[in-house]
């Protein structure tokens, strides 16, 4: 294990270990909720994202895909029935199905952080294909102290380069990985207790989720109402439990403001537009992604009023919508 970055010319997993990402057969044909087509995407990969529209981890993956200009289809999963994932043993979202060009191979990429790391590695490394890169992220199956079966994806915060990272210092790489872990381990956990702070806020959140996810188009009326009413009630109580588990302040808004200011202070100290400098890095995309999950809720309006996150958030939104990282796809295609 390298303390800064991983070199793909060092064996990390056997081909058989990497094979667990390969689907043994084609998945069923499912209704596509929407299709994002970017003319500059010349990878030839057919990508399908299985998601909940307002899941922070799903939003994080979409921010990455949109920034780099990947074309992809979206399958909206019903969060109560989860009917769209019954065909696979992996029921969590997000996950990606990636059909490789000129091949019948379909990869199932699991876990938002791993998805981002392997696709970023694919873009950064001009000579390696996705099938080889997934072998660098083997999974470990184990049973925890309470008897629950767990799966851990190894190296999921690491990017796989060749001999040297392209134009990046060791400090940049370590800093990016630190903030990516902070998003997953700390920041995302202040969202639910804030969004579902009161019964009325929980109901408001699910009404917004329904609107932005276009649930009336994708689900039967009874399914949509079940998710809105049952989901809002359940998440109100779950939010209370999460508040205690993650030791948030009695006024959970204060925890939201404080954690937002943690990264804003780091940004101010850096003196650049983004944590990545003059352009966003994976940490910027992760923070932006999870915030978009709640931008239609009172909690997000309050955090904009009580912190200075708005300017950074608007700059990130513009960069993502304009696919400003799309040149990496073009460079990858030119080399291939």
The catalytically annotated residue of 21, 55, 68, 263 is 55
Write the CB contacts of 107 (distance below 8 Å, at least 6 apart in sequence).
Answer: 21, 22, 23, 96, 97, 98, 100, 130, 131, 134
Residue whose C-alpha is closest to residue 297's, from 221, 237, 207:
207
Asked if 58 is an active-site residue, the reply is yes
Q: What is the DSSP letter of 80?
A: T
Contact between residue 57 and residue 286 where contact means Cβ atoms under 8 Å apart: no
User: 79-92: b or e for each residue (b if 16 or more CB lie within 10 Å)?
Assistant: beeeebbeebeeeb
User: Inter-axis angle of helices 282-292 and 170-185, to 10 degrees?
Assistant: 20
The catalytically annotated residue of 21, 50, 57, 219 is 57
Contact between residue 21 and residue 108 where contact means Cβ atoms under 8 Å apart: yes
State both tokens at 195: 């969004």
Q: What is the DSSP letter of 250?
A: S
Residues in the chain: 336
> Using omega within 30 degrees of 0 as the cis cutoff, is the peptide bond preceding 94 cis?
yes
The catalytically annotated residue of 21, 50, 58, 70 is 58
Strands 149-153 and 160-161, by their bridges, are unpaired
Residue whose C-alpha is closest to residue 188's, from 59, 71, 68, 314:
59
The catalytically annotated residue of 52, 64, 72, 219 is 52
Asked if 55 is an active-site residue, the reply is yes
Sequential DSSP letters for 220-249: -HHHHHHHHHHHHHHHHHHHHHHHHHTT--
Contact between residue 315 and residue 274 where contact means Cβ atoms under 8 Å apart: yes
Active site residues per annotation? 52, 55, 57-58
């Amino acid at each position: 294990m390298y303390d800064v970055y991983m070199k793909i010319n060092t064996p990390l997993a056997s081909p058989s270990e990497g094979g667990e990402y390969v689907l043994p057969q084609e998945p069923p044909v499912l209704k596509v909720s929407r299709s994002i087509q970017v003319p500059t995407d010349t990878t030839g990969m057919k990508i399908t994202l299985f998601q909940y529209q307002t899941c922070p981890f799903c939003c994080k993956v979409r921010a990455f895909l949109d920034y780099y200009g990947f074309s992809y289809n979206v399958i909206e999963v019903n969060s109560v029935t989860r009917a769209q994932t019954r065909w696979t043993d992996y029921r969590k979202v997000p996950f990606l199905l990636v059909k490789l060009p000129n091949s019948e191979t379909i990869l199932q990429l699991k876990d938002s952080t791993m998805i981002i790391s392997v696709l970023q590695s694919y873009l950064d490394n001009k000579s390696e294909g996705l099938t080889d890169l997934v072998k660098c992220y083997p999974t470990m199956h184990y049973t925890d102290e309470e008897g629950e079966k767990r799966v851990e994806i190894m190296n999921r915060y690491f990017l796989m380069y060749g001999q040297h990272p392209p134009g990046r210092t060791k400090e940049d790489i370590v800093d990016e990985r630190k903030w990516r872990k902070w998003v997953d381990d700390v920041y995302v956990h202040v969202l639910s207790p804030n969004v579902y702070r009161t019964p009325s806020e929980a109901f408001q959140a699910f009404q917004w989720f329904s609107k932005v996810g276009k649930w009336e188009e994708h689900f039967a009326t009874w399914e949509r109402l079940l998710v809105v009413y049952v989901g809002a009630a359940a998440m109100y109580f779950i939010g209370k439990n999460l508040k205690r588990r993650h030791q948030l302040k009695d006024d959970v808004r204060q925890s939201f403001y404080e954690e937002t200011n943690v990264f804003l202070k780091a940004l101010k100290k850096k003196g650049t537009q983004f944590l990545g400098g003059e352009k966003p890095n994976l940490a910027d995309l992760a923070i932006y992604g999870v915030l978009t999950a709640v931008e239609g809720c009172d909690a997000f309006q309050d955090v904009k009023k009580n912190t200075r996150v708005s300017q950074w958030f608007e700059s990130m939104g513009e960069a993502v919508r304009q696919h400003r990282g799309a040149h990496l796809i073009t460079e990858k295609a030119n080399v291939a």
